Structure 1
């Protein structure tokens, strides 16, 4: 029986199959596969999504930490570019699954962990995302608060002014997220050009007032290759970890892609180039501030506070827009989906977004940010050790084990092949444990420190190969000819080919 239809590389459920699983406990309107009509995201949408998320305060200031560690400007930019090219690989590999089968990340995880085991990678991704949601909300709050205080001195004397901004900005973030990924698509289309043009204007201002300044001419502090590599590898892991979260749940967005080609090309150019260019703008502008103000100002909020009130007002809107775009796009979709997947028949995406917002407040981001350095470098590096192995398992399952073929309908059947044993795929759990345990040895054995400094990379490859080996001849894998037996493969739409 044909349960799914493939055309132009996109697989959708047949009407009969949809009816047969629509009452399943694993199905709801947000977690179901996208229909043919819902594949509406073009390359422009993915480009603006990434540009909007990359143009944020942490990306602007990312290179500053590397320069403070001893790198010169081109070593810092090169590290940022390389790290984003590396993380782009798992992003594109996981994007393929989301685009082809139209499934969100928690449903994708059912393939490799089982219908119940999927909560392990889903909630792992959700916890770090909720933490980042709170942090970015607080960063946006403090930025807006500083700029308002600079424009209106009376604002600073208002009791609880920071709490007021936090409550309003939190509500705005949750409100946009409540509307779902389609609202994020519209937000990105607006935010990306506005923030991008503003950054270019800021760089032009810096160049015309001070040239490129001393930071760009400061040499590297490293005298040998060995000294540089000791800093380079852990720093590279930090750059990779910056977007390692999106490498997992990118199917949440790519499930709406019109074609594989459009999303791949758009993401390949927009992510590494935007991160590198925006970081360079941060370095160049900071270099100019040394000449103009006599000190290096890495924080764009502190820099904007030195401008006239009208410019500060515009800057407040732009920074709020940038913080909102990255926060909603990168930090709330994944936990909302993961929470929704806990009880698909009762919890909607909107409810998941609200719960995520409450959880972010309970994590007290204002307290976490009081020890910013330890949190970002310690916590983020530690989480990279967990996210890398999950990425490796996802890639191994879809590309090496199943070779891009699955029975879409059975992802929503409690008794389907992807239920494994009582809802858990033990091979996925074993591969995850192995992938996390090996890099942890680097913390325990001084001579193996390189394993921990490159935890994301080692964890990814170790789990990938361990999972592929453990899943040999697994019964959940479609047998030769079985995919063709359940799939109605239609001829490519000539108009679609012209549109590409």
Structure 2
């Protein structure tokens, strides 16, 4: 709340339209990522793979476009039901991601022959991956850790501007403190450890560095695992998108003309902007199913 208050009564009107511009871009990108997880599952079907490789629109396949529109519509439906629906959705999505990640981690550790933090990844591969993630320095070095730290600070600094969009619905101050404690340091550290173990095990099984859970889940030969993991990660991405981009954009757009634009209308405007930006999203046409080794 103080982050917004620091702009002043009139200055806040300047910050309000700036934040949704960024949020709308990320809203479209996260929706594309969510639909990509579903595409990775669907192209296991020969008929859908043929559909995926068929006609393209603005460098996106028909399957990608269809998946994007479905995910886009689902978010719009959730947000129009109100913040209570968003809260209930988040209460379900968070634990679901943990279940899916643990399934991946345990399954890959079994395939890899056990649990280990000894990754054995070639340094040139790690350097390439860290450069792609805009992290400078040798992996594990002091400067690389500082770069990661700066990235996290930058990431949360943006979300901090809209912290009040959610804290206003908390039952008490203690509830906010407890949520921040379990949701940030505890959950973040634990999830990072599980993600690290999963990535290491995936490298030992597949021989390549897969950083995204949907890529790893798509590599499983078991339909059951993929059927659980891919939709879960798609839903998780939707949950992150709602919190980080959709809600903030809707409130901020509404703040520009509060007499004429409600929270719901602000959500519609943000969704339409994100839909218009979709043609500029990177294509996932190169996604191919990988069999379990």
- Counterpart mapping for 1:29-48 below 5 A: none
2:227 aligned with 1:333:
no
Indicate the residue corresponding to 1:402 in structure 2. none
2:168 aligned with 1:255:
yes
Indicate the residue corresponding to 1:157 in structure 2. 50
Whole-angstrom distance in 2 between the partners of 1:156 and 1:369: 19
Indicate the residue corresponding to 2:33 in structure 1. 139
Alignment deviations for residues 29-73 of structure 1 (CA, whole Å, 9 cap, x no partner): xxxxxxxxxxxxxxxxxxxxxxxxxxxxxxxxxxxxxxxxxxxxx
Whole-angstrom distance in 2 between the partners of 1:144 and 1:187: 19
- Counterpart mapping for 1:63-82 below 5 A: none
Larger Cα Rg: Structure 1 or Structure 2? 1
The question of whether the paired residues in 2 share the 8 Å contact of 1:122 and 1:338 is answered with yes
Alignment deviations for residues 64-88 of structure 1 (CA, whole Å, 9 cap, x no partner): xxxxxxxxxxxxxxxxxxxxxxxxx
Residue 336 of structure 1 and its aligned partner are, at CA, apart by: 0.6
Indicate the residue corresponding to 1:68 in structure 2. none
Cα distance, 1:289–1:363 mapped onto 2, change above 3 Å? same
Indicate the residue corresponding to 2:115 in structure 1. 212
Cα distance, 1:229–1:213 mapped onto 2, change above 3 Å? closer
Match of 1:300 among 213, 220, 225: 213
Higher RCO (C-alpha under 8 Å, 6+ residues apart): 2
Alignment deviations for residues 417-453 of structure 1 (CA, whole Å, 9 cap, x no partner): xxxxxxxxxxxxxxxxxxxxxxxxxxxxxxxxxxxxx
The question of whether the paired residues in 1 share the 8 Å contact of 2:250 and 2:264 is answered with yes
Cα distance, 1:161–1:138 mapped onto 2, change above 3 Å? same
Match of 2:11 among 100, 117, 120: 117
2:179 aligned with 1:266:
yes
- Counterpart mapping for 1:39-438 below 5 A: 94=1, 109=4, 111-150=5-44, 152-158=45-51, 159=55, 160-210=62-112, 211-213=114-116, 215-216=118-119, 228-307=141-220, 308-364=222-278, 367-369=280-282
SS at match of 1:117: helix
The question of whether the paired residues in 2 share the 8 Å contact of 1:148 and 1:313 is answered with no
Residue 349 of structure 1 and its aligned partner are, at CA, apart by: 0.7
Residue 149 of structure 1 and its aligned partner are, at CA, apart by: 0.5
Alignment deviations for residues 171-210 of structure 1 (CA, whole Å, 9 cap, x no partner): 1112212223221111011112222122122222222232
Whole-angstrom distance in 1 between the partners of 2:231 and 2:11: 42
Whole-angstrom distance in 2 between the partners of 1:164 and 1:218: 37
Whole-angstrom distance in 1 between the partners of 2:214 and 2:15: 36
Say how many residue pairs are matched.
260
Cα distance, 1:116–1:161 mapped onto 2, change above 3 Å? same
Q: Give the gaps of 5 or more residues in structure 2.
A: 56-61, 128-136, 284-293
Q: Normalization by structure 2: what TM-score?
A: 0.79
Q: Give the gaps of 5 or more residues in structure 1.
A: 1-93, 98-107, 371-500
Cα distance, 1:297–1:114 mapped onto 2, change above 3 Å? closer
Indicate the residue corresponding to 1:73 in structure 2. none
Q: Normalization by structure 1: what TM-score?
A: 0.48
Residue 367 of structure 1 and its aligned partner are, at CA, apart by: 2.8
Cα distance, 1:204–1:229 mapped onto 2, change above 3 Å? closer
Residue 240 of structure 1 and its aligned partner are, at CA, apart by: 1.4
Cα distance, 1:202–1:341 mapped onto 2, change above 3 Å? same
